[in-house]
Amino acid sequence: MARYLFTMYLTQKYSSSISVLTLALCAMACQAGAQADPQSTPVQTIQTDLSADHSLKLEIQDSIRKGARWLASHQDEAGHWSDPNHPALTAFPLFALLNDPTRSGSQADFRTITDKAFRFLTSKIQADGGIYTEGVGLANYNTSASIMALTAANNAQFTPVIQSARSFIVRGQFDFGKKGEVDTPLDGGIGYGNSYPHSDLANTVAAIEALRYSEVHRGEIAEAGVNDLNWEAAIQFISNCQNLKGANSAEWVSEDPVNKGGFVYFPGNTKSEQMSLPSGRVALRSYGSISYAGLLSLAYARLSADDDRVKAVVDWLKSNYTLEENPGMDQQGLFYYFQTMAKALTAARIQAIDVEGRGLVNWRRELFLKLQQLQSLDGSWSNPTARWMEKDPVLVTSYCLIALELIEQSF
């Protein structure tokens, strides 16, 4: 069932909106009441069919098989992977293994792995409903990742846990100024949860993804602040992170071609660099991974495909398409960039990218070949650049498997 939830291609589309997620990270949300609209327009209608390339599919599956085998062999006897202080580092590999299309062999052995992992995750449940280690931080990050894995189990036993974790995330949505009004740039977003008091786009997209994927557990009636977000406020926060005048009125927003349409980490802050423009102004550099996170956030928020914010970020991503670096960040966060690219382009139903000087590029094929090239002989991946925990092969291998599973489901 997890494989179905992860790979089912959505045929239902919200009226005049991007598909919530064609990979069914939001299939459950669609099943919970969305109506099909045959007039809905995709972001891009170019078709690049991989289904006939059986040889490529076998190569992708072989890469997934090797990575999944490596993950399965590196689980601690206590049920966790990597650092036990961060449940997310168990939730990511568990999610990847649950959605492995190549799984074979003993079902009992697989259940042993997953049962141990679920026991570990549920041991991290806190009194407030979050799933994290008290005093360590990253509460939203860890809870959001855990919701994804628990939902993928498709086990009613976890419904109360998921519901409480959803409420924990929802309570973390910031409202800094006058309560009930979106009157500061950080309102509507979500942050780490217990590290510092402000929101950022990386944590917001993690929370939104978890909430959409687990929406079947929400209940029939959505209540902002109780079991669901204030989506209007969330959309405003996402817009406040975009380098796009008209959607974002902040003074730091730049219309220069290098940055227009892309995203930054949170309003007024980029993890990339500040740029001096010919006009004398200083611009905040848009960068790749957070711009794909921006597109993915807009898809989850169900914005219209012809919304200026969607069109602008798609244009920025086309202009900055590369697999050699995380644009604006060099090698930092490269594998998060790859995973978020796969998710966002799948969600937006972009089959090919029109790259200047190259024409239409099949991003799925190119991303697979890049990941295949970077995969170690033992089946794992890691990033020599340590930022954002990417020297951890468990985290990075999970990122890569999730991306490859999305690519494989297009066949």
pLDDT of residue 10: 27
Distance, in Å, from the CA atom of 399 to the CA atom of 390, rounded to the nearest integer, reads: 10
Distance, in Å, from the CA atom of 186 to the CA atom of 98, rounded to the nearest integer, reads: 35
Decide if pLDDT at 99 tops 80: yes
pLDDT of residue 277: 81
Nearest one of 346, 408, 345, 320 to 371, comparing CA atoms? 408
CATH number at residue 301: 1.50.10.20
Q: Which residues of 189-202 are buried (b: 16+ CB within 10 A; e: fewer)?
A: bbbbbbeeebbbbb
Distance, in Å, from the CA atom of 37 to the CA atom of 96, rounded to the nearest integer, reads: 31
Domain count, the chain: 1
Q: What would the pLDDT profile of 345-361 be if each residue is shown by its tens digit?
A: 999 999 999 999 999 99
Predicted structure pTM score: 0.89
pLDDT exceeding 70 applies to what percent of the chain? 87
DSSP letter assigned to residue 330:
B
**AA letter at 131:** I
Distance, in Å, from the CA atom of 125 to the CA atom of 128, rounded to the nearest integer, reads: 8
Q: Which residues of 373-389 are buried (b: 16+ CB within 10 A; e: fewer)?
A: ebbeeebbbbbebebbb
pLDDT of residue 340: 98
Domain range for 353 = 2-408
Determine which of 149-163, 209-223, 292-306, 315-329 has the lowest per-residue pLDDT on average.
209-223
Residue 407: Cβ within 10 Å count? 22
Decide if pLDDT at 168 tops 70: yes
Calculate the average pLDDT of the chain.
Answer: 87
Cβ within 8 Å of residue 146, ≥6 positions away = 87, 88, 91, 121, 124, 131, 165
Residue 397's pLDDT band, with cuts at 50, 70 and 90, is very high
Cβ atoms 326, 289 nearer than 8 A: yes
How large is the average pLDDT for residues 80-99? 98
pLDDT of residue 159: 95
